[in-house]
Amino acid sequence: MGRKQAREGAMQLLFQMSSNEDFTKETLQTFLDNFPYDKGESEYIRAVVEGVMDKREEIDQSIKDNLQGWSLDRIARVDLATLRLAIYEIQYMEDIPVEVSINEAIEIAKKFSTDDSYKYVNGVLGGFVRSMSKDE
């Protein structure tokens, strides 16, 4: 498979966790036990999902800070999971270029969400990256 499929798997797991309000390591392990990811993919999924679990409040605040006319609870759960994943990658995974994280998030939104969601995801991530640049 590869990083693209692992990213989609991580988003799906984050979506499930958000839907069930169950951000536990047991849920993560059950997911990995039940889907055929190779070692590298599983390591990526574990790192990203555990990272989002640990930094969820900070990540959600970053999302809130870049929403225009929306609140966090109005965002579709698929889009929220996608944004959490991308912001975690951008902020904490230095080996992944920012452009790759944004492009992959857009592709995930196109595949799993509504027809126009990718535009919204792109806008939120663009605002987030611009705000990071101002802080530096």
Residue-level pLDDT at 3: 86
Domain boundaries, the chain: 3-135
CATH topology (fold) of 3-135: N-utilizing Substance Protein B Homolog; Chain A (1.10.940)
Rounded Cα distance, 111 and 51, in Å: 24
Q: What is the mean pLDDT of residues 27-47?
A: 95
Mean pLDDT over the full length of the chain:
93
pLDDT in tens, 79-108: 999 999 999 999 999 999 999 999 999 999
Query: What's the DSSP call for residue 94?
Result: T
Token pair of 111 as six digits: 């595949």
1 pLDDT exceeds 60? no
Q: Within a 10 A sphere around the Cβ of 30, how many other Cβ atoms?
A: 13
Percent of the chain predicted with pLDDT > 90: 85
